Amino acid sequence: MLYAYLKGDPMTESDASHRLHAGEVIRDRELTPVTGPTIRLLQPGHLVHLQFRRFAGCPVCNLHLRSIVRRHAEIEAAGIREVVLFHSPADELREYTPDLPFAVIADPDRRLYVEFGVESAKRALLNPRVWGTIVRAVLRNAWGIVRGRERAPAAMPHGGRFGLPADFLIAADGTILACKYGDHAYDQWPVDELLSLASQAPVLDDRLQ
């Protein structure tokens, strides 16, 4: 099953130029979700959890995003706004994300991925720590397809299968409060860790001023 998941992937190591760190300040910008109106990345009075995901329909990404959806009300109550990027075209993403309660952004040219230093590497799927999750995610995805509740991902997804995830918690002034670059395809913040980081945001803000 793992071989089938990897077979035919054209992506090699990414040339992402650099990684960002807590304390750096990013600029605000307009983003266009695959559905809904244009948004500003930064919003007064809110933290932003900026997620860099992989490709449209990625079973591993879907497994994690379900946990975000289940606890989205709790995340919002903590003052966090979710913004999720995929390196897939908007038309393709719309088929997989119609029910997600947060902004989903298509970045098929990987411009923001490069700007934020988010990589693609074979360890995304070859790291043994992710193999069990891949099997679980693929089986769950297959069951959803059989029941007509999910769509199968493309056989050759745009941007390849070797994308690595990344998480950024960003203050309203653009300061990066915390960030995580994944070592494999399922290496991202669980909701409890995100909420814990957000609860420390005032302390981090004081330290970084």
Give every CB contact of residue 70 below 8 A, 6+ residues apart in sequence: none
**Is the pLDDT score of 126 beyond 70?**
yes
Of the pLDDT bands very low, low, confident and very high (cuts 50, 70, 90), residue 207 is very low
* 35 inside domain: no
- Residue 19: predicted pLDDT: 92
More confident residue, 157 or 102: 102
Residue 77 lies in a domain: yes
Residue 36: inside a domain: no
131-172: pLDDT as tens digits: 667 677 666 655 454 455 566 555 566 666 788 999 999 999
Task: State the CATH number of the domain containing residue 76.
Answer: 3.40.30.10
d(CA 166, CA 14): 14
* Residue 30 covered by a domain: no
In a domain, 69, yes or no: yes
Domain that holds residue 134: 2-22+44-208
Element (H, E) at 31: strand 30-31
Please report which helix (H) or strand (E) contains residue 111, including its range. helix 111-115
What's the confidence (pLDDT) of residue 208?
Answer: 39
Q: Is 91 helix (H, G, I), strand (E, B) or coil?
A: helix
Among 94, 82, 90, smallest CA distance to 108 is for: 90
Number of structural domains found in the chain: 1
**What residue has token string 């860099």?**
52
- Least confidently predicted of 13-17, 29-33, 58-62, 84-88: 13-17
pTM score of the predicted model: 0.81
Position 201 in a domain: yes
Residue 165 has a pLDDT of 95
DSSP annotation of 28: P
pLDDT number for residue 116: 96
Q: Are 169 and 26 in contact (CB under 8 A)?
A: no
Q: Of residues 187 and 121, which shows the higher confidence score?
A: 187
Residues 196 and 67: their CA atoms lie apart, in Å, by 16
